[in-house]
Amino acid sequence: MTGTHRESLPGWVKEASLGIFIHWGPYAVPAWAEPEHVAGEPEPEGGWFKHCSYAEWYANTIRIEGSPAAAHHAEVHGSAPYEDFLDQWKAEAYDPAAWARLFRALGADYVVPVTKHHDGVTLWDAPGSDGFNTVDRGPKRDLLGPLAEAVRAEGMRFGVYYSGGLDWSITDYPPIVEGEDIWRFRPNDAAYAAYATAHVRDLIDRYAPSVLWNDIEWPEAGKEDGSLVDLIAHYRDAVPDGIVNDRWGADVWDYRTSEYSMGADHETGSGWEHNRGLGSSFGYNRVEDESFTLSPRELAKHYADVVSRGGRLLLNVGPDAAGRIPDVQVRTLEGAAAWMTGVKPYTTDRRFPGDAEVTVSAEADNWYRTWASGDKLVVIADRPEAVRVTAPGYETVAIALPEQER
């Protein structure tokens, strides 16, 4: 396959440091997963998938014999078909303009909603998705168009996530129980490749997304027949300054991604993107309280770490079935907003100083990160007044992390 990736990222991407991911689907109705197990960290007994902390994987987890999710599903929902949640999902409180204002207040540069996750439900009337989308059922409307308009009205870029690699609505494979199952139990035939290609082409033509974010590879038939290369070329023509992530299983990407503790080897150089939820799930998990959710201080620290190493943070929110962003998530976003917007002006043109005379040091208990921005040397620390800086030619900007919540 011929490579189609960019030699260099567009200017807006180089200046961006914060994106908002949105996982919203029928899984917001049951809204349940075990929150204790962070992806990429040591697996619990029985394996990650049996104890999956991703609520958006509910349709898979409830099919694993002996999983706590299956027991929960039987007790609370009577083992009803997952598809029933699509009809129960009403999105009656959905206010995309309010979402966009919240994200902009945090200093977000771009917003990437899920348009189809692994359950196969599309959040718009995608070609060939009759009877399994949010226009025909559940919310009974296109959920993407109003969000794209609201996001752009607030001066942010709009992107799209699409699960090209998995679609449980059109396959009858066993549940994914171990990592290798992802690659064994994914549709790779020409019919599915054409179906997914039509979806993504429609997303491009309708919404002109600045970010094209695929997940779990792309069907092999679409790689082999050249349709993936044609699709990416179509995207390049339609959105000349758009960018493509690295999860296609083909050389079409512009930047690398990492997720929670996974893919850390991708966090090198500049222009990479780290994505994670405010808790241990992407989709809304009603079990996640403040103890499982990043505090404003923890969010600030995580953001500073990613920025200092040349990356962007794609931070996820998971709305509930009504369309409300849960209070526990809003608390963190609003609590960090003033700090984040105060730091944002110093994240443009970020780099490590090249001058050998620049040194920054602090005691072990004084966490800090630093980067250069123009003629400024930015120091983020627990106690910036106790950080020792030698930086000829730079003006030092010292910013303290938000205070620890009591």
pLDDT, residue 201, reads 98
- Cα-only R_g, the chain: 21
Q: How confident is residue 406, by pLDDT bands cut at 50, 70 and 90? A: very low
- The better pLDDT of the pair 3, 341 is held by 341
Q: Measured between alpha carbons, how far is 368 from 301 in angstroms, rounded to an integer?
A: 9
For the chain, give the longest Cα–Cα distance.
68
pLDDT, residue 4, reads 61
- Per-residue pLDDT averaged across 99-103, rounded? 98
pLDDT, residue 350, reads 86
pLDDT, residue 403, reads 86
Cα angle 279-281-282, degrees, rounded to a multiple of 5:
105
Dihedral angle computed from the Cα positions of residues 219, 65, 260 and 382, in that order, rounded to the nearest 10 degrees: 170
- Per-residue pLDDT averaged across 147-169, rounded? 98
3 has a pLDDT exceeding 60: no
pLDDT in tens, 30-70: 999 999 888 888 888 889 999 999 999 999 999 999 999 99
pLDDT, residue 356, reads 67
209 has a pLDDT exceeding 80: yes
Q: How confident is residue 161, by pLDDT bands cut at 50, 70 and 90? A: very high
Q: Which amino acid is at 355?
A: D
pLDDT in tens, 287-312: 999 999 999 999 999 999 999 999 99
Q: What percent of the chain has pLDDT over 90?
A: 88
- Per-residue pLDDT averaged across 163-192, rounded? 96
Q: Measured between alpha carbons, how far is 197 from 229 in angstroms, rounded to an integer?
A: 11
Q: Which residues contact 394 (CB under 8 A, 6 or more apart)?
A: 353, 355, 358, 372, 375, 376, 377
- Per-residue pLDDT averaged across 73-102, rounded? 98
- Residue 12: strand pairing partners: none
Q: What is the enclosing helix (H) or strand (E) of 298?
A: helix 296-308
Q: What percent of the chain has pLDDT over 70?
A: 98
Q: Measured between alpha carbons, how far is 107 from 20 in angstroms, rounded to an integer?
A: 10
Whose CA is closest to 393, among 370, 369, 375, 371? 375
Task: Give burial (CB, 10 Å; 0-12/13-18/19+) of 132.
Answer: buried
pLDDT in tens, 15-28: 999 999 999 999 99
Q: Measured between alpha carbons, how far is 75 from 95 in angstroms, rounded to an integer?
A: 32
pLDDT, residue 405, reads 67
pLDDT, residue 231, reads 98
pLDDT, residue 224, reads 97
CATH 3.20.20.80 location in the chain: 11-346
194 has a pLDDT exceeding 90: yes
pLDDT, residue 5, reads 64
pLDDT, residue 274, reads 98
pLDDT, residue 39, reads 86
Please tell me the CATH code under which domain 11-346 is placed.
Answer: 3.20.20.80
